[in-house]
Structure 1
Amino acid sequence: MFSIEHEFDSTVVTLVDDGAAPLQEDVIINAFSECFTIEQFDPRTETVQRITLSPEMVRDLAAALDLPEGVYQLPAHSAPR
């Protein structure tokens, strides 16, 4: 299950683990014009862990999900709009 919300300066996607137990904490993805952040609460440390990706890194990740094993470099002009 997931939700999508449009904020003033970003789009927020929340992924909810509704699969079989043990369940993972929600993942929150913030899409800003200059970067994407991925956040998840860590119950062991009681802190939110955050990863920041550039738009190019997100583009590469999306492409990698559909490619076989290997090393790739996408052309700079194929960035999503």
Structure 2
Amino acid sequence: MFTIEHEFDATTITLIDEGDEGMPLQGDVVIRGFEECVTVEQVDPITGSVMQITLSMAQITDLSAALNLPEGAYRIERRAPAEPGQD
């Protein structure tokens, strides 16, 4: 199960582990998408503190591509944005 909320400066997706039969539940994962980055948070069950990682938009692009590729090393060529008025 998951929820999606659109906030002022971010879109928040919460992944809720409903579990598979016989498997222990994991804590909710909260993903916040901002204009310049994406954060992923989960509460550490041992310490009770929130653990957070921050991914750049380039890392998110790489992650998205990696989900559908076989094992290996890859580099995505990124093109500089076109100057206004140029095609």
Instruction: Specify if TM > 0.5.
Output: yes
Q: Does 1:15 align with 2:15?
A: yes
Identify unmatched segments of 5+ residues in structure 1.
Answer: none
Residue in structure 2 matched with residue 6 of structure 1 by the alignment: 6
Matches within 5 A, 1:1-80: 1-20=1-20, 21-77=23-79
Q: How many pairs were matched up?
A: 77
Residue 59 of structure 1 aligns to a residue whose secondary structure is helix
Identify unmatched segments of 5+ residues in structure 2.
Answer: 80-87
Task: Give every structure 1 segment of 4 or more consecutive aligned residues whose post-TM-superposition deviation is greater than 4 Å.
Answer: none
Percent identity between matched residues is 56
Higher-helix-fraction structure: 1
Give, in whole Å, the separation in 1 of the partners of 2:67 and 2:19: 21
Give, in whole Å, the separation in 2 of the partners of 1:8 and 1:24: 28
Give, in whole Å, the separation in 2 of the partners of 1:12 and 1:48: 16
